[in-house]
Amino acid sequence: MSLVVQNLGKSYPTRSGELVVLRDLDLEMNPGESLAILGPSGSGKSTLLQILGALDRPTSGTFRLRDQEPFSLDDDALARFRNRRIGFVFQDHHLLPQCSVLENVLIPTLADDNVDRPALEARARTLLDRVGLSQRLDHRPAELSGGERQRVAIARSLILQPALLLADEPTGNLDRKTAHAVAELLLELHRQEQTIFIVVTHSVELARMLPKQSEMIDGKLAAWSGAGL
């Protein structure tokens, strides 16, 4: 397994005692597999995504990606691991308004001096062609529609060929038609790139587009009933 999560737990101290968000959570996935995670607000979905994205440390348990345990690394090495191995697509595209489409896609490459910049720029252009934006390379985010901005964010998330692609409500700010098109694009690129793809969503329509679904219940992943949220 390329992604192995065992007995993962996350809790926070509060005035009224310990607040347990995740408890003894297990998950295993291989390259090319995808999973939609549903559940009500506050159920721990985004907390799990933060931990899998190496943005927050678990209270207990282990998480391995490609046989590496990121939380055994120091902060600098963890940041490099996160940048190289994990791609993110959020509900808000988080594009830099002063940068062009091409420059926004290349932003994750700026943290590493030991990269082949011409090759990465060529990959950025290829990704933007694959998301249908080859004619918009020099445009700024303000000149794009919401769906186009999210397509740029998808290309950016894949620029360094991550092992794990995480999406948090990636279609939440889009109308239904655009949301469906963006979801189809995400799934197509994930399959082509053979990433592990995990999406957290309230959208039943989006969840049903993926081959596997789980629901966050009492801090664990359980089989999804198929009911709306």
Low-confidence ranges of the chain (pLDDT < 50): none
Which pair of structure tokens corresponds to residue 206? 């989006």
Backbone angles phi, psi at 199, to 5 degrees: -120, 130
How far is the C-alpha of 14 from the C-alpha of 195, rounded, in Å?
A: 37
Question: 3-223, what's its fold?
Answer: Rossmann fold (3.40.50)
Which candidate, 227, 71, 57, 89, places its Cα nearest to that of 154?
A: 89
Contacts of residue 5, Cβ cutoff 8 Å, sequence gap at least 6: 25, 26, 27, 28, 52, 61, 62, 63, 64
Copy the structure tokens of residue 15.
């005035």
Q: Quick: pLDDT tens for 131-153.
A: 999 999 999 999 999 999 999 99
Structure tokens at 142: 């303000």
pLDDT digit string (tens) for 35-72? 999 998 888 999 999 999 999 999 999 999 999 999 99
**Nearest-CA neighbor of 145 among 200, 88, 93?**
93
Q: What is residue 228's predicted lDDT score, i.e. its pLDDT? A: 59
pLDDT of residue 227: 67
The domains of the chain are located at: 3-223
Q: What is the DSSP letter of 228?
A: -
